[in-house]
Amino acid sequence: MRGYGVLDATAAQVDPLDIYERDQWACQLCHKAIDPAAEWPDPWSATLDHIKPVSQAGEHTAENLQASHWVCNIRKGDAWGPGDREISEG
């Protein structure tokens, strides 16, 4: 987070599995299921998305994290919010 210029940001210890299970293994950006067996570099693998980006002073806390597909997270970029656009496969 310091790389983004956020010197006093909070970085909590967060277990990604807790977030994925909380969000019921559903991408919060495209609202489609995330396959728990998919692993990076599969674009449809699970990743954590910061709702308010770290680059905009968002914190690394469970409340600011949501489950997303890796490709959905990349496409969202530094946008702020849960996202509402549907991203189609292939």
Enter the pTM of the model.
Answer: 0.78
Tell me the HSE value of 29 on the side-chain side, using a 13 A CA sphere. 26
What pLDDT is attached to residue 87? 43
Residues of the chain with pLDDT under 70: 1-10, 82-90
**How is the chain split into domains, by residue range?**
15-90
What pLDDT is attached to residue 71? 96
What pLDDT is attached to residue 85? 43
Q: What is the pLDDT of residues 40-50, one digit of tens each?
A: 999 999 999 99
- Burial of residue 10, with CB atoms counted within 10 A of its CB: 0-12 exposed, 13-18 middle, 19 or more buried: exposed
Question: Do 19 and 67 form a contact (C-beta atoms < 8 A)?
Answer: yes
For residue 16, give the nearest of 39, 48, 45, 42 by alpha carbon: 48
What pLDDT is attached to residue 77? 86
Q: What single letter denotes the amino acid at residue 65?
A: L
Which CATH topology does 15-90 take? DNA Binding (I), subunit A (1.10.30)
